[in-house]
Amino acid sequence: MPIKIPDRLPAANVLTQENIFVMTESRAAHQDIRTMRVLLLNLMPKKIETENQLLRMLSNSPLQIDVDLLRIDDRASKNTPQSHLENFYYDFEQIKDEYYDGLIITGAPLGLTDFCDVLYWDKIEHVIEWAKSHVTSTLFLCWAVQAALKILYGVDKQTRLEKLSGVYEHQKLAEFEPLVRGFDDVFLAPHSRYADFPIELIQERTDLNILAASERAGVYLAVSPDRRQVFVTGHPEYDAGTLHGEYLRDLSAGLEPAIPENYFPQNNPDNAPKATWRSHGHLLFANWLNYHVYQLTPYDLRTLSAEGQTLTRY
């Protein structure tokens, strides 16, 4: 089934060329079907690149998905045309009375920034609290995991001395949890962060069920008991060349970054990297959409409650 996106969103042409079934708003208007509504809060600087990556992940599902894009930082962007933001993104005030089956909050380049110095921190808090009563299941990626742990559990930021960058092996820790159904016992996923997620910290300070972890990268995948919050500390949505681009960016900025681990063939940045995590990424998002969104969500989203149960609002 397709994902439904605005007619002129650049991702429509990109994904169509990749034989991914997308449906524009004008075509979808002639169908009578209950689509899954997913809201994407995009905090990444290169918003178009992130849109393409995440829409690829969402497309690998038998469900028809209606995607809305959200921004909460109204400052001028250095990496995304203002016209793109005005044409395709909603402000929170425009969607605050809406209900969604799923919400994805992306990472952000804020690994070394204290929460109190994040200019839109209060808006992040508001969106996460709002999601408790307006969204069936929320998926947090990378920095968003750090923010959610602070807001939902009071867990302070843990920061590594050196940036974690590369592709790492992870072990599946739950055999029958739906979110990891079909996962190999050991699988690969990329990371790009200063944040640290020690297993012991998550076990002691939260009630989250840890589903996958890595000796090198710590907790990778965790879920709340009611399955309404999913925490992914890495970047399964990344393209093959994304870590390469970040490495070149940091080199240009004079940061003297380490070469991403287990990424370039022969550990040589002159060799083109290959995506070794793509199948895992697609399966993770497909499982989330199926088991944590579609299987949990009520037909009438207006009946969502903060406890994840339905109630009558009449």
For residue range 220-231, list pLDDT tens digits in order.
Answer: 999 999 999 999
- Mean pLDDT of all residues in 131-146: 97
Q: Is there a catalytic annotation at residue 142?
A: yes
Residue 293 tokens read as 């969104």
What integer pLDDT is reported at residue 312 of this predicted model? Answer: 30
What integer pLDDT is reported at residue 310 of this predicted model? Answer: 41
Furthest CA-CA distance within the chain: 63
Within a domain: 257 = no
Domain count, the chain: 1
Active-site residue identified among 134, 142, 282, 292: 142
Residue 270's pLDDT band (cuts 50, 70, 90): very high
Q: Is there a catalytic annotation at residue 169?
A: no
Q: Would you say residue 23 has pLDDT above 60? A: no
CB 231 within 8 A of CB 221: yes
Q: How far is Cα 133 from Cα 136, in angstroms, rounded to an integer?
A: 8
Q: Is there a catalytic annotation at residue 235?
A: yes
DSSP helix/strand/coil, 201: helix
**In terms of pLDDT, which residue wins out, 114 or 26?**
114
Q: Indicate the annotated binding residues for substrate.
A: 163, 192, 249
Q: Would you say residue 19 has pLDDT above 60? A: no
What integer pLDDT is reported at residue 304 of this predicted model? Answer: 72
Share of the chain above pLDDT 90, in %: 75
Residue 222, domain extent: 3-155+196-239+286-302
195-211 pLDDT, tens digit each = 999 999 999 999 999 99
What integer pLDDT is reported at residue 306 of this predicted model? Answer: 47
Share of the chain above pLDDT 70, in %: 89
* Whole-prediction pTM: 0.87
Within a domain: 50 = yes
229: CATH: 3.40.50.880
Instruction: Report which of 113, 168, 131 is spatially closest to residue 37, judged by C-alpha positions.
Output: 131
What integer pLDDT is reported at residue 31 of this predicted model? Answer: 46
**In terms of pLDDT, which residue wins out, 26 or 242?**
242
169-201 pLDDT, tens digit each = 999 999 889 999 999 999 999 999 999 999 999
Within a domain: 35 = yes
Q: Indicate the annotated binding residues.
A: 163, 192, 249
What integer pLDDT is reported at residue 297 of this predicted model? Answer: 84
Cα–Cα distances in angstroms (integers) from residue 71 to residues 59, 255, 260, 301, in the given order? 22, 29, 30, 22
Calculate the CA 261 to chain-centre distance: 22
Within a domain: 138 = yes
Within a domain: 264 = no
Q: Would you say residue 313 has pLDDT above 50? A: no
Q: In this structure, which amino acid lies at residue 83?
A: S
60-115 pLDDT, tens digit each = 887 889 999 999 988 888 889 999 999 999 999 999 999 999 999 999 999 999 99
Residue 47's pLDDT band (cuts 50, 70, 90): very high
CB 312 within 8 A of CB 306: no
What integer pLDDT is reported at residue 175 of this predicted model? Answer: 87
Residue 6 tokens read as 């605005």
Within a domain: 278 = no
Active-site residue identified among 134, 235, 282, 292: 235
What integer pLDDT is reported at residue 25 of this predicted model? Answer: 57
Within a domain: 312 = no
What integer pLDDT is reported at residue 28 of this predicted model? Answer: 46
Q: How far is Cα 149 from Cα 157, in angstroms, rounded to an integer?
A: 8
**In terms of pLDDT, which residue wins out, 64 or 145?**
145
Q: Mean pLDDT, the chain, as a whole number? A: 89
Active-site residue identified among 49, 177, 237, 246: 237
Name the most confidently modeled range: 2-6, 250-254, 262-266: 262-266
Residue 2's pLDDT band (cuts 50, 70, 90): low
What integer pLDDT is reported at residue 294 of this predicted model? Answer: 86
